[in-house]
């Protein structure tokens, strides 16, 4: 695999030449690690057909991206795919910052400093000295926030977090004059867990309604998908007189939203006996799968977010 990855762009003849030069005598390969074997294959490929290798690298630049993955213990990983030259510049800059901090007597490790510098350069704030300044959505009950309740909160884009950690986030934001925190109440229908939301006459979901649906659904509602929500979609299509409402709305990833528009796919929304939003999805083969929104905290719902322009002020 290491060799074929570097040779894939070459002609059949050049691939044979690369294989003969690299593997004709296995002696030079003895003791080489994966990175060394890959580098040697890349060197030979450049010598055989430099133009083709250059074109391959130029095409690869279009695949640059950033991906986030949920990790254990309240952590999240970020992976960036970028051109090698830019990646080397980033690595050098992070290494310089880490070396400078360690030399100045920082108690953090080099790896910790590098991670903190990434956050600081992207957000413009020091993650060690100040609370998170960007929008941070938390869904929790009023008891969890105001009376020391222990029911976990939902951190948008991550999942359940301990009540104490959620309170710490809100209090840290409220205490910082440059960050602040705002509260928005989302009321529940008495006797059920169904959140009450608005409807719209427009085809596109208004921002507030889309935010509501995103907080309710948390991940793509297609069964077994688990991708991040990218689109707010009509369960019953708008073209078939489906309303723009919380009941007829769901959060989907981009792929699932496009697939759902193909012939043979059908979806219907309802609520289960616990008041949770439920979707029955029928595939072109006739199989039916059910998707139920995650449970929401008991009691009065409060949507908490950290913003730049709003603060919580003590009661008079």
- Measured on CA atoms in the order 257, 259, 263, 265, is the torsion positive or negative? negative
Q: In this structure, are 234 and 255 located in the same domain?
A: yes
Domain that holds residue 254: 199-292
Q: In this structure, are 53 and 74 located in the same domain?
A: no
Whether residue 252 is contained in a domain is answered as: yes
Q: In this structure, are 143 and 182 located in the same domain?
A: yes
Domain boundary (61, 88, 105) is at 61
Whether residue 49 is contained in a domain is answered as: yes
The pLDDT assigned to 250 comes to 93
Cβ-count burial of 18 within 10 angstroms (0-12 exposed, 13-18 middle, 19+ buried)?
buried
| Alpha carbon distance 239, 250 (integer Å) | 16
Take residue 286 and report the two structure tokens written for it.
Answer: 């006739």
Query: Residue 61 pLDDT > 80, yes or no?
Result: yes
The pLDDT assigned to 222 comes to 93
Whether residue 310 is contained in a domain is answered as: no
| Alpha carbon distance 64, 81 (integer Å) | 5
pTM over 0.75: no
Query: Residue 314 pLDDT > 50, yes or no?
Result: no
Whether residue 230 is contained in a domain is answered as: yes
> Over the stretch 176-228, which tens digit does the pLDDT of each residue have?
655 555 555 554 554 555 555 554 556 678 777 888 888 888 889 999 998 88
> Over the stretch 9-60, which tens digit does the pLDDT of each residue have?
999 999 999 989 888 887 777 777 888 888 888 989 999 998 998 899 889 9
The pLDDT assigned to 212 comes to 81
> Over the stretch 217-257, which tens digit does the pLDDT of each residue have?
888 999 999 888 999 999 999 888 888 888 899 999 999 99
Which residue, chain included where needed, has tokens 């430099």? 50
Name the phi and psi angles at 102, rounded to 5: -65, -40
Whether residue 83 is contained in a domain is answered as: yes
Q: In this structure, are 77 and 161 located in the same domain?
A: no
pLDDT grade for 125, boundaries at 50, 70 and 90: confident
Q: In this structure, are 56 and 71 located in the same domain?
A: no
Whether residue 313 is contained in a domain is answered as: no
The pLDDT assigned to 181 comes to 54
Cα torsion through 163, 166, 170, 175, rounded to 10: 90
Q: In this structure, are 214 and 272 located in the same domain?
A: yes
More confident residue, 193 or 4: 4
Domain count, the chain: 4
Q: In this structure, are 160 and 78 located in the same domain?
A: no
Q: In this structure, are 175 and 208 located in the same domain?
A: no
């Amino acid at each position: 695999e290491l060799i074929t990855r570097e040779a894939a762009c070459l002609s059949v003849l050049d691939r044979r030449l690369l294989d003969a030069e690299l593997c004709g005598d296995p002696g030079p390969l003895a003791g080489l690690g994966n990175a060394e074997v890959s580098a040697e294959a890349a060197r030979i490929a450049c010598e055989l057909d430099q133009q083709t290798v250059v074109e391959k690298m130029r095409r690869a630049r279009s695949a640059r991206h950033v991906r986030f993955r949920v990790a254990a213990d309240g952590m999240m990983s970020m992976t960036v795919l970028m051109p090698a030259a830019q990646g080397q510049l980033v690595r050098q800059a992070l290494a310089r910052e880490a070396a400078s901090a360690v030399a100045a007597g920082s108690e953090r490790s080099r790896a910790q400093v590098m991670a903190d510098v990434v956050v600081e350069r992207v957000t413009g704030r020091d993650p060690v000295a100040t609370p998170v300044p960007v929008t941070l959505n938390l869904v929790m009950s009023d008891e969890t926030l105001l009376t020391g309740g222990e029911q976990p909160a939902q951190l948008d884009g991550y999942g359940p977090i301990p009540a104490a950690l959620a309170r710490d986030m809100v209090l840290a934001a409220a205490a910082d004059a440059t960050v602040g925190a705002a509260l928005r109440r989302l009321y529940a229908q008495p006797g059920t867990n169904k959140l009450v939301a608005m409807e719209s006459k427009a085809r596109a979901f208004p921002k507030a309604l889309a935010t509501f649906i995103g907080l309710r659904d948390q991940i793509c509602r297609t069964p077994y998908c688990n991708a991040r929500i990218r689109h707010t979609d009509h369960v019953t299509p708008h073209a078939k007189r489906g309303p723009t409402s919380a009941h007829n709305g769901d959060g989907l990833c981009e792929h699932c939203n496009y697939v759902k528009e193909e012939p043979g796919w059908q979806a219907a929304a309802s609520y289960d006996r616990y008041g949770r939003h439920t979707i029955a999805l029928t595939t072109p083969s006739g199989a039916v799968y059910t998707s139920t929104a995650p449970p929401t905290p008991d009691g009065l719902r409060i949507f908490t977010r950290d913003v730049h322009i709003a603060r919580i002020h003590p009661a008079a």
